[in-house]
Structure 1
Amino acid sequence: SAVADVNYSQLWLGTRGFGLYSYKVAKDIKENQQEDLTKLAIENFNKQFYEQSVKNWDEVLALEPGNKDAMMYKARCFLKMQKPVQAQETLKTVISKNPDLKEAILLLGESYEAVHDYKQAVKAYDNLVIQYPKETDGFVLCARVLLKMNNFDDAVSYYTKALTINTELPSIYKGLARCFIAKNNLSKALDISLQLQYRKPDDVENNVQIARIYSSLHKYAEAEEELKKVLAADENNSSAKAILGLVSFEKGDLKEAEKNLSEALAVNFKDANAHALLALVHIDNDKVELARGELANARFVDAYEVLISYAEGRILELEGNFNEAIAYYNQAINTGYNTAAVHYRIANSLKSLEKYDEALREYHKVLALDPAFKKADDVKWIISKLTMPTDEELGGPVADTSGTASSSGSSGTSSATSTGTGTRPTLDDLDF
């Protein structure tokens, strides 16, 4: 019969085949849904709709919890939204499952840098050094962060190791030069920068840095020559304009300094160093309110710019708040601005507070840091005055036996008696 002719095995296979077909359709629907969500998430990311992109990626992760790309994009969104802690949590999850994923380690270090947690950033980047010892990335990034931490010797060590791996990478030479600038070894910094210039003569950033070093060495003609070459190729180069402003400032040409710095900031408002330099120009021109405005701009751009503390100290010193000024100057030193200029200001403030022995030590530091300091002759004269022996050191008030005892003792011996210390003579002559 017709019923007897039914092939049950074929019927069973057909039914099973339908089940497989149903499963495949369901799987295709899920994959299509995931593809659509992924596409939408990327579109929102590219449109800078980061919050919506995170929601899209969460939907992707609901379909596929271990999706590495989704978690990486999600971490990037958090960084763009300035939510580094959420980014760190996401990246740690990725790294726990993919410990050698370089991109995740790089982003984790970046997230720590964003909140100035430099110790954790170094720890993250050091993971690259361990896993990829024949690549420069980990060494260079560790060195860069160590430089921010003012750990100059370790930064030099990491940069040097990177240089043994790759002698052609410009960032290594630039980083090494910055380390030696911070260590006040300007001749070494110049030597390294010139090595890079020989290899990459058109590296604008390096050429501008060479000009900055020449300026610090008081070689203003050489600095201007370097900057002219940069500006000949690009007359609107803001970095070159800013350093030209620095050179003019160091030469004492405040009008030209203000012009160049203003032009630099018109092109690049986000140059915190240029804002702080312009503030110093205004201070020297006795335009304190304009200086405060530029310092506010500098803080807005980068609150960690080292010149801000120095400029704040200058304003406080002008106002006669010497103790507060010294605190700001020391803050500048602690953040990497350890220059002859800042020690000169500390010394002057201490002198104004009549702390002459401390002032003397600071004046000596000025000449030790920069024998060619622009006010070196003044400093030497002050040192000679401050090292003159007091009446006590000469064995007592010998002048009392003469007819001029009262007139000479009014600023010397009488003051020494009231303070209990040996006061130096002719201190009124030391004001500048």
Structure 2
Amino acid sequence: MCGESPTLRKEDSPTLGGYAAAFDQIQHKQRRSRPGFLLASRSVTDPPHTGSGIAAHRTMYLSSTFLPILLLLLAPQSPQDSIRRHYEVAEAQRRAGNLAAAEAEYTAILAEGYSRLGKIYSAQKEYKEAITALEATVLYRPDSVEILLDLAIAYFNAGQYEKALEPLRKHLARNPQSVGARQMLGKTYFMLGEFEKARDELETALKLAPKEMDVAYTLGLAYLKQRQFAPAKQIYDRMVKQLGNRPQLRIVFGRAYRETGFLPEAIEEFKKAIALDPKFPRAHYYLGLTYLLKDGATRLSEAAEEFRVELIANPNEFFANYYLGIVYLIERKWDLAIGLLEKASRIQPNNPDPYFHLSQAYQALDKHDQAIEALKKSIALNPHLGHNDYQVTAAHYRLGQSLIRAGQTEAGEKELQIAAQLKSESFKRDEEKAAAYLSSKSLREQNSKFPEIGSVEGIVAESNAPDERARRELKGSEAYYAKVVASAHNNIGLLRAQQQDFRAAAATFALATKWNPQLDGVQFNWGLACYKAELYKQAIAPLENELKANPANVSAKQLLGLSYFMVDDYERASELLTDVISVRPNDISLYYTLALSLIKQGKQETANQVIQRMVEIGGNSPQLHILFGQAYYEQGNTAKAIEELKAALALDNKARLAHYYTGLIYPKMGKFDEAAQEFESELALNPNDVQTRYHLGFVLLASQRIERGIRVMREVIQLKPDYAEAHYELGKTLLQQDDIKGAVESLEMAVKLKPDEPHVHYQLGRAYMAAGRKAEGESQLEISRQLKEKARNPMNQ
């Protein structure tokens, strides 16, 4: 926490230096059931260990999936030759010690795997997942025009039209003659409402590929959107000559005309389709619907007749059942309406609309129990408040009426209150509502509800779904390539860990876990890499997952206990470490951290028992005196704490952390110069200890050695850019030195890193005021005041 004085740091754990080799000795023993390689776990700064019972050099095991990825490649999947070749080269390079070259080969596997996943997800209409995979592919293959086009198509199908423009422009910059990219760019402009640009791109695409019917059809739509009927009709007539006079062509032309407002022409196209095949699916339904769009309820009888004819040929057509049911509602033919709307609800059981209209017929026949059931389903399935002109508000109102009529007065009044709270408009008679539902205006307001009465944009964007066999094959391929990607990420993580780049390894293991959380050892690898990178909070989740899958993994439990200790969850840390000690009773480092966890919880008696056991195992060691020193410090007995720390140094003048903790105590006694000397001594033993360097900077600033204190704080930030306390102390000091620009920069970073600390906002507010940014300064001061108030009165929040 950013404070005005130094405090004991969390790194009381021996795993960060100071308790000989035990600081970094966590060992994951090789399992006989799977291959792996040993990754040296000790830092070059770790001192040799001379204590009893602990090996002078220990290693940490990271489970490898080099063999599992090979097994995947031997599976009956295609294509896979390229991936197998990359794998074989990667293994050869790894064995030769060429880790960078090995990583490059695994990166090539990732590019191939992500590319395949992107295509598979797109084929399954899982566009969000496709975008994730293809964006990853672009990182590995930034110059691939094929991938750029695939990514643009995924963006397009996900409705992210603005994002689709960039990869399409990049593609066309490399390949201006690409018909596919021109077509997609035209479609994208169309969806963005830029119809002139859409027309230009689609005309270019059609010149490049005159026989591309999809391009021609979309260009026709672009003409229609610009009210240019003649060139659109010319294109569609040419398509008929090329493809033949087929009913399906007439249907798509009719839909194009209908959704661009050319309703008489749409009616003629639907009639032509019926003349070619009177039983063609949805032809009569489309015709009936277009009658209503053009003339509203005045053509109700003609529309109803078309719906009836549709049902004779296609009795399970949802829309014909649904709309004919509404027609019968208007005509007050309740029983006929109920039969059709019940069937519609069976065809689409998750659609709220048939249930809503059913309730009207049930209520008209005083069947209130059935109306209640239908309305509850409609409310439960309603996708959002504005659906169908706030239909759910009317549903609550009707439900309240039926509940009251059924004798459930209290529940009914509650529903009426909900309807009132939704601020609905005054309700019209049910017959008027149903009639309005079939008006031209209302039907156009339902553009997003069903594809059949969707906007013309829906026609441009729609695509066919794969059949059941194709879906099974796609799912199998998805599972295969997800495992390939996960294994490649895991192997890259192992390579990075082998080079001691644990932060990068952690990020890579996280990706491996995302794609295959069941990959053998990946959760442990991720947690271990996070721990080694000092990302203790992030280490917790994967280590918890590892323990759920493998409760006997004592190393995972030990790492988890230490991670909880590092994030101040001393209760959970002590629980886990107690369990580990029962399995590893001679591991003295565990007693050290367990004792500290118990001290932090105020469980001094239990801590004393742990310390006693530690004495029995390790004897009179420097680390024991360091532990006693910390215990006395926690109790406020600084004199005894100093005495114990001096005893530790008397036994070993290079005992790590003894100088550090002594340096923390001296400022409490007003001895800033002595504190600085202790921190200097600690840094001589461990130059990379960022916290020691921070506290050195702190006491230098506190003792008015400003120039050097600022220099040391900048060194801390260079070593650890996310060190909020260093940014805060530096910013506060720069403000005092009238370096307003520097103060603002440092304090803004401190606020970004620690947004809940009131004193950081306070200092930033002062810096803004000094910079003449009064409004921002007052805002920061107000945030500081609110945070302080929140801290004083947590129960009021």
With structure 1 as the length reference, what TM-score do the two structures score? 0.49
Higher alpha-carbon Rg = 2
Greater relative contact order (Cα 8 A, min sep 6): structure 1 or 2? 2
